[in-house]
Amino acid sequence: TSDDITRELVAGHLQLPLVEDATVHEAIRSRLAARRIPTTERIWRQALVPGGAKVLPNENGTAPGLYLPASINPAVPSPHLFLLPGPPRELQPMFSNFVAPILRRITGGLEKVAMRIFRVANMGESIIEKKIGGLIAAVPGIELGYCARPGEVDVRVIGSAEVVAEAEEIIRKKLGNAIFTASDETLAAVLVRLLSERKQTLALAESCTGGFLADQITNVPGASKVFVAGYVTYSNEEKIRALGVSRESIERFGAVSEQVATEMAEGLRTRTGATHGIARTRRR
C-alpha cells in the first residue's frame, strides 16, 4: 500500500539501489494465482530488494522479510537491520525460522544472557510487583519487566544464568500456582495439554462472552481430544432449559452471580459427562 515506504526509506538512507528479485516476484505471483486473487501494479513493489540484502521468505503472505548486514554499504555505517511484515501470523514464523538463527550467529561471541518469562493468571501487575519487586531488585545484575494483558501478566527476568536461576526461585516461591507456564504457551494451550495428559475432558457454558472461551479452546491443536461441548446460554430461559439452572436462583441472586454460574457448571457435567465443567456469566 502507499503508506508502506520502509524499504524505500532504508534503501535511500543507505544509498542502495532497489532491484526486483525474480524469486520473490514468482512467489507472489504463485500465491495470488493459487488463491485467484487479482494482481495490481502496486503489489510488485514487494519484490523490490535493496542491493545486497538477504530475502527472508514469507510462508504465510506475500511481503518478504529483508536482512541487511551491518554496514552493508561501507560508505554509510549502519547496524544490522531487519525489515519484517507486520501481521503476527506472518511475522512470528518468519522471526522464529529466519531471524532468530541470524541473531544467534551474529551474537555468538557475546556474553551469554539468559531470559525466563513466567506467565501469571488472575493476579494484577501491582500485586505481583508487591510480592516480588523488591526481592528481585536485590539480586545483582538482574533485569525485571512486566507485560500485562487481560487476565494475565508476563514476568520477565534477564541476566546471567546464575542470577536468573536465583530470581526464578524467588518468583516461583512467591507466585506459586498463579504461574501457569514458563514457556510461550497460552493459558488455553496449557489447559488442553494438562487435560490430555490426565485423560480428562472439559465442557463450557457461557453467557455474556458469547462463545469466546470455546473459541480459545478449539483454536488449540488437539482440543478435540478433551473438549466435549460448549453452550452459549444467553437468556435466562435457556439457562433453565439447557443446563437446569434453578429459576429461583436467578430471581434471588441474579443471572450474573456465583450461584447461577455454579449451577451452570454442575448442569454441564450432568448433561455432557465431562470431567470438568466451566461456566462464565459475566464478560470480565
**β-strand 54-56 against 81-83: which pairing, if any?**
unpaired
Is residue 153 within 8 Å of residue 146, measured between CB atoms? Answer: yes
Average pLDDT over residues 212-223: 94
Give the pLDDT band (50/70/90) at residue 284: low
Cα–Cα distances in Å, from 174 out to 115, 120, 151, 170, 180? 19, 12, 18, 6, 14
pLDDT tens by residue, 222-262:
999 999 999 999 999 999 999 999 999 999 999 999 999 99
User: Computed from CA positions of residues 171, 177, 179, 185, in that sequence, does the dihedral angle turn out positive or negative?
Assistant: positive
201 and 171 in a common domain: no
- Is 149 a domain residue? yes
Instruction: Give the DSSP letter of residue 115.
Output: E
- Name which of 79, 80, 141, 154 is nearest 113 in CA terms: 141
216 and 157 in a common domain: no
Write the DSSP assignment of 221-258 as a string of letters.
TTGGGTEEEEEE--SHHHHHHHH---HHHHHHH-SSSH
pLDDT of residue 4: 81
**What range does the domain containing 276 cover?**
188-280
pLDDT tens by residue, 53-87:
999 999 899 999 999 999 999 999 999 999 999 99
Cα–Cα distances in Å, from 278 out to 139, 187, 220? 40, 14, 17
pLDDT tens by residue, 123-179:
999 999 999 999 999 999 999 999 998 889 999 999 999 999 999 999 999 999 999
Is residue 178 within 8 Å of residue 251, measured between CB atoms? Answer: no
Average pLDDT over residues 26-32: 92
Domain count for the chain:
3
pLDDT of residue 189: 95
Residue 214's CATH number = 3.90.950.20
Give the pLDDT band (50/70/90) at residue 112: confident
274 and 217 in a common domain: yes
The helix or strand, by DSSP H or E, that contains position 212, with its residue range, turns out to be helix 212-218
pLDDT of residue 184: 85
95 and 157 in a common domain: no
- Is 51 a domain residue? yes
pLDDT of residue 1: 65
Residue 96's CATH number = 3.40.980.10
Average pLDDT over residues 108-131: 91
- Is 1 a domain residue? no
